[in-house]
Chains A and B, each alone.
Chain A
Amino acid sequence: MRQQNPLSVFLLSLVTFGIYPLFWLARTRGEMVRKGADIPTTFLIIIPLANLYYIWKWSQGVEHVTNGKMQWFVALLLEMLLGYIGMAVIQDIFNKVGDSGSMPSADVPATPAAPAA
């Protein structure tokens, strides 16, 4: 997943009056799909009710790429209750998981690391 400053996610969301979150959702969706998550097209976000389905699947994708470090309902609550702040929190988790290198990959099956001798 692309590393990004959570503060920039929050600020860009503010200054673009809500346009950036759509871009961010689409970009992260693409990255998560490449990691093997099953998330429908981001166009669903503009369709009433279908957008709830999209956010639900997107949240499941977060759980998938973070290896359960962030559960899907936590991601869902963050998105729906905290808005831009929730997005920043999720980006922070993406950064941390990316740092620790524990993300699964669709190309290379994730295997548990061998314990150090």
Chain B
Amino acid sequence: MGQNSDTLLLMKQRSLPKMLLLFFVTLGIYRLYWLAKTRGELIRKTKVKIPPIWLYVLPLIITLVAVAGYVATSIGREVRLQDNVDLCIRNNSTEVADVNRYCESTEYNNIDITGVEVVFLVAFYVSVIIIWPLIGWWYWKYAQGVEKITKEKMSFPIAMLVVLTVPDGFDMLVMQDSFNKVKKGS
């Protein structure tokens, strides 16, 4: 009976070199997959309520989209600005230095920030404000599951330190190593 209940607590064994390889090959996406899979295993075996993985992923996606969108629209604005200045220079026949000064100080240089840029900017700040509480909460519950499955061999504080301070990709190796050791009984 005791052996059966111990077996129920086992996590799936994974090869650490293979995980590292997959992490680099998939450009880090494997880490999200690994978090989702181990989250499911932890929930089944420890009954700790870990929030769904999309709560972890969504803020990341919103932040990335906001940054990419803002950079793209900003570059577009810069291009339009340069086009206007070039047009201004072509339409004037005075000295180049004077023209530059004139063109950069008049309505030719007056291209306001667009509504789309504002949306991306707001999305960025909102995601930054919600990203850490959500991810922190997700890690908090995950670390509780890790403590339980490893029978406190990896305690909750250590698990929090690992997921929040060890570089992504290597943190999952440390975690998986402790999962693998549970089976070995060491």
User: Are B156 and A92 in contact, CB atoms less than 8 angstroms apart?
Assistant: yes
Binds A, one of B91-99, B100-108, B113-121, B160-168: B160-168
Size of interface on A: residues with Cβ below 8 Å to B: 15
Quick one: given A81-B165, A82-B164, A85-B164, are A93 and B136 in contact (CB under 8 Å)? no
User: Are B161 and A74 in contact, CB atoms less than 8 angstroms apart?
Assistant: yes
Other-chain residue from B136, B157, B164 in contact with A74 (beta carbon distance below 8 A): B157
A92 to B93, CA, bound (A): 73
Question: What are 21 A-B pairs at a CB distance below 8 A?
Answer: A10-B136, A69-B155, A74-B157, A74-B158, A75-B157, A77-B161, A78-B160, A78-B161, A81-B161, A81-B164, A82-B160, A82-B164, A82-B165, A86-B160, A89-B156, A89-B157, A89-B160, A90-B157, A92-B156, A93-B156, A93-B157
Residues on A lying within 8 angstroms of B by beta carbon are 10, 69-70, 74-75, 77-78, 81-82, 85-86, 89-90, 92-93
Give min CB distance, A40 to chain B, whole Å: 24
Closest to A11 in B: B133
Closest to A90 in B: B157
User: Are A70 and B157 in contact, CB atoms less than 8 angstroms apart?
Assistant: yes
Which residues of chain B come closer than 8 Å to A70, judged between CB atoms? 155, 157
Closest to A92 in B: B156
**Residue of B136, B157, B160 with most chain A CB atoms under a 10 A cut-off:** B157
User: Are A82 and B161 in contact, CB atoms less than 8 angstroms apart?
Assistant: yes
Which residues of chain A come closer than 8 Å to B160, judged between CB atoms? 78, 82, 85-86, 89
Give min CB distance, B23 to chain A, whole Å: 22
A79 to B164, CA, bound (A): 13
Within 8 A of A (CB), among B125-182: 136, 155-158, 160-161, 164-165
Which residues of chain A come closer than 8 Å to B156, judged between CB atoms? 89, 92-93
9 tightest Cβ-Cβ pairs between the two chains A and B: A81-B165, A89-B157, A89-B160, A74-B157, A85-B136, A77-B161, A82-B164, A78-B157, A70-B157
Closest to B136 in A: A85
Which residues of chain B come closer than 8 Å to A89, judged between CB atoms? 156-157, 160
Which residues of chain A come closer than 8 Å to B164, judged between CB atoms? 81-82, 85
Which residues of chain A come closer than 8 Å to B155, judged between CB atoms? 69-70, 74
Other A-B pairs beyond A75-B157, A81-B161, A89-B160, 17, CB < 8 Å: A69-B155, A70-B155, A70-B157, A74-B155, A77-B161, A78-B160, A81-B165, A82-B160, A82-B161, A82-B164, A82-B165, A85-B160, A85-B164, A86-B160, A89-B157, A90-B157, A92-B156
